A and B are shown apart, each in its own frame.
Chain A
Amino acid sequence: MASESELNAGIEDGVRRRDFINIAAVSFAGVGAVAVVLPLLNQMNPSADVLALSTTEIDISAIQPGQAIKTSWRKQPVFVRNLVAKEIAEAKAVPLGDLRDPETIDQRTKPGKENWLITLGVCTHLGCVPLGAAEGENKGDFGGYFCPCHGSHYDTAARIRKGPAPKNLVVPPYEFTSDTVVTIG
């Protein structure tokens, strides 16, 4: 057994060797705990198979002007819409200052393919699938899409115009591989 005087032998400025060992041990245990927590939290992130970016090819040859189809990419619904001239004109007539999320229709379509409006069918409010892609569905007050969950109205460029959604419908990355085939992803 070490006597009190022996234990206090190394004291300099009131700090004992034991204090250093205490702090070092607890700090190291803290680092270890954090190192264990990280994988335990990270396991909840999307796994590799979910992340593996799939690409989806869509044949758009059968979509007549004024029509739209609903397809899916990464398990999310995608709207492909063949706009008519009147709808494009309507979208162009809106001053950008009036928009909650200002974007022109040209920014939301590919050059020379302004009639093809391709967006995710996921309302930017809380993620419902808006109506308006299928024949006879409610297109909302602005002739585009209408989300029935909480009443968001999108216009003919799928831009948010009214209701609680903060953003326009998202345009996914895509390109025209030919005049009639679009590759999303």
Chain B
Amino acid sequence: MSFPWAKPYEPQHPLMKWMDEKLPIPRLVYNATGPGYPVPRNLNYFWNFGVLAGAALMIQIITGIVLAMHYAANAGVAFNSVEHIMRDVNAGWFIRYAHMNGASMFFIVVYLHIFRGLYYGSYKAPREMVWLLGVVIFLLMMATAFMGYVLPWGQMSFWGAQVITGFFSAIPVVGEPVREWLLGGFVPDNATLNRFFSLHYLLPFVILGVIILHIWALHIPGSSNPTGIEVKDEQDTVPFHPYYTAKDGFGVGVFLLIFVALTFFSPNTLGHADNYIPANSLSTPAHIVPEWYFLPFYAILKAFTFNFLWIDAKLWGVIAMFASIALLFFLPWLDSSPIKSSNYRPLYRIFFWILVADVLLLGWCGMQPAEQPWVILSQLGAIYYFAHFLVILPIVSRIERPLPMPNSITEAVLAKHATDASSASATA
């Protein structure tokens, strides 16, 4: 679907006309990312992060396919094959560092994309399906990243696999058999490494498929925008190409600059030195932590140190950790305010920033050993995280008095230009 004023696709060249009759892929592209897709005229740079996430996925798929040409998924040689990539394969060090840091960049842009959605209410009707598919992509990304981290078969790989598959052993009765089924043994071993490699190769393509659904679902109502007011007529929009291809192109440039700076100058900063020690099933590293992008959820897991209501601490931790993500599926219905953008929600805006601070605090606690004061801080942070979604959000969306809103996107844009112009003339 698109707006009635969308520019129709009219191929001129006979070859393009021929193609359009047989397999209208150029028409699809034109109407999805070309001049045939009208987009709100007021998108700011926070709307770049969807395209950046797509770029990051492509970088991961390309570098990953190349790495798979040199990597050997066998517990006996996996560690050495990674060292072989680092030392012997032509440009292998670059490709592997790009893949390692590409994962971090992917999560950075996806977290910004998620928080953009939270700030501007992008999850609200009519875009709930876009949000739900986004949470599915996020879950798939976490599974893929975890399995990829196991492949070098270093100490962190091994113990990460042990701890994360251990989550499933918390399930009553069937937990231990499920864990053995996932591992294909009693401890992570060759069977585990092989299946993780197989799935790590598969899941990015599943992610790609869900991304297509995510974009499809987005293109039915069209993009949201910083005012949260829906498009009313043609003057509210500009064609995707050239306006947002150019804006996204600039964003991709900035993204690549940061990405290559990280890859070339600081490739191991976001990793752990312990993963350069071969896996040893008899010795756990003194301080095991997951990759940075899992830290807030890891802190929620660690926050439960006591049994409570017939359920033991281990199961509570695992339930809370999965619930903290599953909660996001219910967000479109927990926030009943019809106002999308936080720019017009003075109360929600405050709690949004407290949530950002809370997630950063949880991330910090996730990095720390299981000692005080980190345990109590994780507990407070976890309580606040759940309270934000289950208590604060439903209450705020009922009692909040939104700020006066413009009638249309165009009115908002022109009003902004008028104030800019008057302040400019005042200073002149």
Which A positions have Cβ atoms within 8 angstroms of B?
41, 44-47, 50, 70, 72, 74-77, 100, 121, 124-129, 148-151, 163-166
Q: Which of B182, B284, B304 contacts A128 (CB 8 A)?
A: B284
CA A151 – CA B288 in complex, angstroms? 12
Indicate if the CB atoms of B314 and A164 lie closer than 8 Å: yes
Stretch from B159-167, B228-236, B399-407 contacting the other chain:
B159-167
Q: Which of A41, A76, A125 contacts B281 (CB 8 A)?
A: A76
B312 at the interface (CB under 8 A from A): yes
Instruction: Give the shortest distance, in Å, between A148 (CB) and chain B (any CB).
Output: 6
Contacts beyond the supplied A127-B162, A148-B286: 14 A-B pairs with Cβ under 8 Å = A44-B182, A46-B185, A100-B307, A100-B312, A126-B169, A129-B283, A149-B163, A151-B369, A151-B371, A151-B375, A164-B304, A164-B317, A165-B313, A166-B312
Q: List 13 A-B contacts (CB under 8 A).
A: A45-B180, A46-B186, A50-B184, A70-B282, A75-B187, A126-B167, A126-B169, A128-B284, A129-B284, A148-B288, A149-B370, A150-B302, A151-B370
B333 at the interface (CB under 8 A from A): no
Instruction: Give the shortest distance, in Å, between A5 (CB) and chain B (any CB).
Output: 44
Number of A-B pairs, beta carbon distance below 8 Å: 99
The 8 closest A-B pairs by CB, nearest first: A151-B370, A126-B166, A166-B312, A164-B313, A128-B284, A126-B163, A127-B166, A129-B284
Indicate if the CB atoms of A76 and B187 lie closer than 8 Å: yes
Indicate if the CB atoms of A128 and B162 lie closer than 8 Å: yes
On whether A44 and B181 interact (CB within 8 A), knowing A75-B281, A149-B370, the answer reads yes
Contact residues of B between 133 and 163, Cβ < 8 Å to A: 159, 162-163
B305 at the interface (CB under 8 A from A): yes
Indicate if the CB atoms of B162 and A126 lie closer than 8 Å: yes
CA A70 – CA B183 in complex, angstroms? 23
Instruction: Report chain A residues within 8 Å CB of B159.
Output: 128, 149
Instruction: Report chain B residues within 8 Å CB of A44.
Output: 181-182, 184, 195
Instruction: Report chain B residues within 8 Å CB of A47.
Output: 184, 191
CA A147 – CA B163 in complex, angstroms? 12
B13 at the interface (CB under 8 A from A): no
Q: Which of A46, A124, A166 contacts B180 (CB 8 A)?
A: A46
Indicate if the CB atoms of B282 and A77 lie closer than 8 Å: yes
Indicate if the CB atoms of B282 and A72 lie closer than 8 Å: yes
B287 at the interface (CB under 8 A from A): yes
Mask of B166-197 contacts with A, CB within 8 angstroms, 1/0: 11011000000000111111110101000100
Instruction: Give the shortest distance, in Å, between A54 (CB) and chain B (any CB).
Output: 11
Instruction: Report chain A residues within 8 Å CB of B282.
Output: 70, 72, 77, 121, 129
Indicate if the CB atoms of A50 and B312 lie closer than 8 Å: no
Instruction: Report chain A residues within 8 Å CB of B167.
Output: 126
Indicate if the CB atoms of B191 and A74 lie closer than 8 Å: no
Indicate if the CB atoms of B305 and A148 lie closer than 8 Å: no
CA A128 – CA B375 in complex, angstroms? 19
CA A151 – CA B365 in complex, angstroms? 14
Instruction: Report chain B residues within 8 Å CB of A77.
Output: 281-282
CA A74 – CA B281 in complex, angstroms? 11
Of chain A, the residue at the smallest CB distance from B167 is A126
Instruction: Give the shortest distance, in Å, between B167 (CB) and chain A (any CB).
Output: 7
Instruction: Give the shortest distance, in Å, between A136 (CB) and chain B (any CB).
Output: 13
Q: Which of A50, A74, A129, A165 contacts B314 (CB 8 A)?
A: A165
CA A166 – CA B313 in complex, angstroms? 7
CA A165 – CA B307 in complex, angstroms? 10
CA A144 – CA B408 in complex, angstroms? 69
Instruction: Report chain A residues within 8 Å CB of B180.
Output: 45-46
Indicate if the CB atoms of B191 and A76 lie closer than 8 Å: no
Instruction: Report chain A residues within 8 Å CB of B189.
Output: 50, 75
CA A163 – CA B312 in complex, angstroms? 11
CA A141 – CA B182 in complex, angstroms? 34
Instruction: Give the shortest distance, in Å, between A170 (CB) and chain B (any CB).
Output: 11
Instruction: Report chain B residues within 8 Å CB of A127.
Output: 162-163, 165-166, 169, 187
Instruction: Report chain B residues within 8 Å CB of A165.
Output: 313-314
CA A77 – CA B304 in complex, angstroms? 26
CA A124 – CA B175 in complex, angstroms? 12
Name the residue in B183, B186, B189, B195 with the highest tally of chain A Cβ atoms < 10 Å from its Cβ: B186
Q: Which of B182, B195, B288, B315 contacts A149 (CB 8 A)?
A: B288
CA A74 – CA B282 in complex, angstroms? 11
Indicate if the CB atoms of A128 and B314 lie closer than 8 Å: no
Instruction: Report chain B residues within 8 Å CB of A46.
Output: 180, 183-186, 191
Indicate if the CB atoms of A148 and B369 lie closer than 8 Å: yes
Of chain A, the residue at the smallest CB distance from B375 is A151
Instruction: Report chain A residues within 8 Å CB of B163.
Output: 126-128, 149
CA A166 – CA B283 in complex, angstroms? 21
Indicate if the CB atoms of A50 and B284 lie closer than 8 Å: no
Name the residue in A41, A50, A121 with the highest tally of chain B Cβ atoms < 10 Å from its Cβ: A50
Instruction: Give the shortest distance, in Å, between A109 (CB) and chain B (any CB).
Output: 23
Indicate if the CB atoms of A163 and B370 lie closer than 8 Å: yes
Indicate if the CB atoms of A72 and B184 lie closer than 8 Å: no
Of chain A, the residue at the smallest CB distance from B306 is A164
Indicate if the CB atoms of B305 and A75 lie closer than 8 Å: no
Indicate if the CB atoms of B195 and A74 lie closer than 8 Å: no
Of chain A, the residue at the smallest CB distance from B301 is A150
Indicate if the CB atoms of B181 and A45 lie closer than 8 Å: yes
Instruction: Report chain A residues within 8 Å CB of B288.
Output: 128, 148-149
CA A87 – CA B284 in complex, angstroms? 25
On whether A166 and B281 interact (CB within 8 A), knowing A75-B189, A150-B370, the answer reads no
